[in-house]
Amino acid sequence: MGKIHNKETFLSNIAGNLGRERRTEGVERPVWKKQPQQEVFAGASPVELQEILIKQCETIHTSVDTTTAADLPETLHQVLQQFGASSAVYWQDERFHSFSLEPVLDSLPESMAWSDNDREEMTAFAERAKVGITFSDITLAESGTVVLFSAPGKGRAVSLLPEVHIALIPRSTIVARMTQAAEVIHQMREEQGKVPSCVNFISGPSNSADIEMRLLVGVHGPVSAHYIIIEDA
Amino acid sequence: MSIRISNEPFDKRVEKGINDEFMRSAVSGAQDRLEGRKSDSTAELGTWEDWRDHAEEIRQHTLDNLDFYLQQFAENAAAQGGHVFFAETKEEANEYIQSVIKKKEAKKVVKAKSMVTEEIGMNEAIRELDCEVIESDLGEWILQLDDHDPPSHIVVPALHKNKDQIRETFHKKRGYSQSSDPQELGRFAREQLRKEFLSADVGITGCNFAVAESGSVSLVTNEGNARMVTALPKTQISVMGMERIVPTWEELDVLVSMLCRSAVGQKLTSYITGLTPSEADDEHAPEEFHIVIVDNGRSKILGTKYQSALQCIRCAACINVCPVYRHVGGHSYGSIYPGPIGAVLTPLLEGYENNKELPFASSLCAACTDACPVKIPLHELLLEHRRDIVEHEGGGFSEKMAMQGFAYAASHPKLFEFGSRSASPIVDRFSEKESGPGPVKLWTKIRTLPSQKDDRFRDWFAERERRKNDGENS
């Protein structure tokens, strides 16, 4: 349990300025008059959403492959070669096992599944690994975004420190936009009483326009991003 | 830094701005690009006006129930191990942040871009402790290396600098020897800052939106520095303006979507990160998570005719369409919050005394109001300010401003037409003077003055420091 400082005076002052008594309970969100976010790509089929996603990836400087569950190990192998990857860090996540990806990763000169136990060592490895590999928990077609929920074994640094981020995307995770992901997280809060400590919405590689408004790809995070869509998963 | 970035009088600042040719062409180029990208990305939605109505309704409901949502947020954050400090003043906020840094015996702090930490002058407070504080947003880092040059835009802080100036700064301060190619400059910054992220003791961020239902803090970035700052150091501090909160993740979706499209024309920026304190030791969450909620003058705006100014989500869309900002640049406003929203907000947070010219630095063309994704009636609030200032100062002040040329509208027939239709008594008065030694003359005069390029704000930091030593507020 954390500490809260100065709450009463601070909030009473707000209520006073609003010209009323403190509200400590009973406030409900109104039924919003308009909700245009619900209409975006409403009724699009999974195949259509995949097309929207792939098209958006052009805009966000992200390369994409499509494959099947059976071919995924071979596809991943090729993508790793394409990036000249001799080292990779990936999540400790049962999906790497269920898609039979461990042999591909073990065949690299250096690879390591994230472990929560040794933070310093894992961070140092992630920092020098060429590639970080994650699975998308929810994928947003509109913005080309992979949504990653933190959990034991799913280190934040895997999608952040290596030069290349490869995200594996089961087609069943693709939704229209952030709206559907927000609903899932809201439901988590309602049903489980909490949300993951870190939810990352990642759309392509890192970039900046801070120097003369020119696009720089790859500032602090990955310089390249690559998505592999698994069409039958 | 505090809200104020200059001790010079308004007309001097404007004079400098108007004579800085690189800055002016950079500003107009950036405005055109950002505004173009925003228009494209809002047009493709087809329902932009519905989005604006929805966003406005969310912001109004949240502000009307702000005490409730802040309480819910604080309790949820604390229930999961987060520490929440409510700070009435900037001094209280800085003292708390200092106390955390002292307790951790921290020697190095890395920081993601945050306007509210600029507003409270947090960096200076941290440096008093003999602790280094490093800006990690590329634009902010450039400004920090260049002897703390103040930001001139809230989204693109180093907009007023060209790549050769940046190369020179990197060379002088960090021994950089490569070209002024932005890619090379960017790579150099990446290498330099990577070391800082990995060796920092404390990471400090702002907060784009807090989420009340889960006690979460969200951060919207493109570079990934906010992720570095929150994934690597063992202690995290997030500083938020008290109004930057939404009820649930569902409203977060709407406001983040509005922010990304309005600020940079992206559907979503590269990274939207939602961080929630966590007692379970899953992966490498920070061991300690502190959240500082800052009032610093905001609460006295609540319940007044200016309350809608607190709807602001800091997207800079109003800045990117403002014809006055285009001509005078960000530093002319003398505030870390420039442009139309700055001209509304700065006097509210800081008082009129040093800022009474700002509401007159507007043509009242209403482009800002039309651009605002949360429908703040910016030009109407500027008019309210003018009325209040005239009430305090008497009519002479507005006349003086008119004579100084801030009836910019008068030189632009279309804008002028709008201004006079909006029935401001002040603008009406300009029209009578139009044929006399009118406003346009001063603008012309200013433009032909000798260039003051070398002068820029090189004395700014020294002056600031001196002021601080003299015991004035920093």
B236 and B365 inside one domain: no
Tell me the two tokens of residue B123: 């960096």
Report how far residue B20's alpha carbon sits from residue A182's, in angstroms, rounded to the nearest whole number. 45
What is the structure's pLDDT at B451? 31
Residue with tokens 């969450």: B285
Report how far residue B245's alpha carbon sits from residue B58's, in angstroms, rounded to the nearest whole number. 10
| A-to-B residue pairs, Cβ atoms closer than 8 angstroms | 309
What is the structure's pLDDT at B405? 54
Report how far residue B337's alpha carbon sits from residue B408's, in angstroms, rounded to the nearest whole number. 21
Query: Cα-Cα-Cα-Cα dihedral of B165, B170, B171, B174, to 10°?
Result: 160
Contacts of A145 in chain B (CB under 8 A): 268, 272
Say which residue, A187 or B409, is predicted with more confidence: A187
Q: Indicate if the pLDDT at residue A89 is higher than 60.
A: yes
Say which residue, B424 or A229, is predicted with more confidence: A229
Q: What is the CATH number of the domain that holds B142?
A: 3.40.50.10420
Share of chain B above pLDDT 70, in %: 83
Nearest to B30 among A24, A29, A213 (CB): A213
Q: Indicate if the pLDDT at residue B444 is higher than 50.
A: no
B229 and B347 inside one domain: no
For residues B118-127, average pLDDT: 96
**Other Cβ atoms within 10 Å of A12 Cβ, number:** 13
Whether residues B275 and A33 touch (CB distance < 8 A) is answered with no
Residues 73-132 of A with CB under 8 A from B: 114, 116, 119, 122-123, 127
Helix (H) or strand (E) holding A91: none
Report how far residue B348's alpha carbon sits from residue A85's, in angstroms, rounded to the nearest whole number. 55
Whether residues A3 and B78 touch (CB distance < 8 A) is answered with yes
**Other Cβ atoms within 10 Å of B351 Cβ, number:** 11
B15 and B88 inside one domain: no
What is the structure's pLDDT at B416? 41
Average model confidence (pLDDT) for chain B?
86
For residues B397-405, average pLDDT: 67
Whether residues B142 and A185 touch (CB distance < 8 A) is answered with no
Residue with tokens 């173009």: B36
What is the structure's pLDDT at B463? 52
Residue with tokens 């907000």: B345
B413, burial (CB in 10 Å: exposed 0-12, middle 13-18, buried 19+): exposed
Query: Cα-Cα-Cα-Cα dihedral of B362, B366, B371, B373, to 10°?
Result: 100
Helix (H) or strand (E) holding A51: helix A46-59
Report how far residue B241's alpha carbon sits from residue B122's, in angstroms, rounded to the nearest whole number. 13
In a domain, residue B309? The reply is: no
Instruction: Give residue-wise pLDDT tens across range B284-342.
Output: 688 999 999 999 999 999 999 999 999 999 999 999 999 999 999 999 999 999 999 99
Q: Which of B20-34, B84-98, B112-126, B451-465 has the lowest mean pLDDT?
A: B451-465
B443 and B327 inside one domain: yes
For residues A84-110, average pLDDT: 97
In a domain, residue B119? The reply is: yes
Contacts of B86 (CB under 8 A, 6+ apart): A4, A5, A6, A7, A9, A10, A11, B70, B74, B242, B293, B295
What is the structure's pLDDT at B282? 62
**Domain layout of chain A by residue ranges:** 40-230
Query: Which one-letter DSSP state was computed for residue A109?
Result: S
B33 and B106 inside one domain: no
B169 and B252 inside one domain: yes
What is the structure's pLDDT at B468? 54
B216 — pLDDT class (breaks 50, 70, 90): very high
In a domain, residue B279? The reply is: yes
Q: How many domains does chain B have?
A: 2
What is the structure's pLDDT at B397? 77
CA distance B377 to chain A (A): 20
Contacts of A30 in chain B (CB under 8 A): 57, 61
Rounded to the nearest 5°, which phi and psi values hold at A144?
A: 65, 45
Q: Indicate if the pLDDT at residue B177 is higher than 70.
A: yes
Q: Indicate if the pLDDT at residue B455 is higher than 80.
A: no
State the amino acid at position B70 in one-letter form: L
Instruction: Give residue-wise pLDDT tens across range A47-62.
Output: 999 999 999 999 999 9
B93 — pLDDT class (breaks 50, 70, 90): very high
Best to test chain B binding among A219, A223, A227 (most B CBs inside 10 Å): A219
What is the structure's pLDDT at B387? 94
B278 and B376 inside one domain: no
Q: Indicate if the pLDDT at residue B454 is higher than 60.
A: no
Q: Indicate if the pLDDT at residue A224 is higher than 80.
A: yes
In a domain, residue B464? The reply is: no
Whether residues A209 and B273 touch (CB distance < 8 A) is answered with no
B258 and B373 inside one domain: no
Q: Which of A186-195, B7-16, B48-57, B395-404 has the lowest mean pLDDT?
A: B395-404
In a domain, residue B465? The reply is: no
What is the structure's pLDDT at B164? 95
Domain limits at B424?
A: 10-40+322-456
- Nearest Cα residue in chain A from B279: A1
Instruction: Give residue-wise pLDDT tens across range B52-69.
Output: 999 999 999 999 999 999
ipTM reported for the complex, 2 dp? 0.97
Nearest to B84 among A4, A14, A212 (CB): A4
For residues A68-85, average pLDDT: 98
In a domain, residue B289? The reply is: yes
B133 and B15 inside one domain: no
B182 and B112 inside one domain: yes
In a domain, residue B471? The reply is: no
Contacts of A182 in chain B (CB under 8 A): 248-250, 252-253
In a domain, residue B310? The reply is: no
Share of chain B above pLDDT 90, in %: 74
For the domain A40-230, what is the CATH superfamily, name and number?
NagB/RpiA/CoA transferase-like (3.40.50.10420)
B252 and B146 inside one domain: yes
CA distance B138 to chain A (A): 6
CB distance B41 to B266 below 8 Å: yes
Q: Which of B214-223, B251-260, B276-285, B429-438 has the lowest mean pLDDT?
A: B429-438
Q: Which of A2-16, A101-115, B287-301, B459-473 has the lowest mean pLDDT?
A: B459-473
Residues facing residue B273 across a β-bridge? A200, B219
Q: Which is nearest to A197 in space by CA: B288, B39, B132?
A: B288
Residue A154: helix, strand or coil by DSSP?
A: coil
Half-sphere exposure of A7 (CA within 13 A, CB side): 18
For residues B405-418, average pLDDT: 44
3-state SS record for B318-358: HHHHCHHHHHHCHHHHCECCCHHHHHHHHHHHHCCCCCCCH
State the amino acid at position A166 in one-letter form: I
Contacts of B385 (CB under 8 A, 6+ apart): B343, B344, B347, B358, B359
What is the structure's pLDDT at B423? 33
For residues A203-228, average pLDDT: 93
For residues B387-399, average pLDDT: 82
For residues B430-455, average pLDDT: 34
Q: Indicate if the pLDDT at residue B414 is higher than 80.
A: no
B90 and B238 inside one domain: yes
Q: Which of A198-207, B24-33, B100-109, B412-421 has the lowest mean pLDDT?
A: B412-421
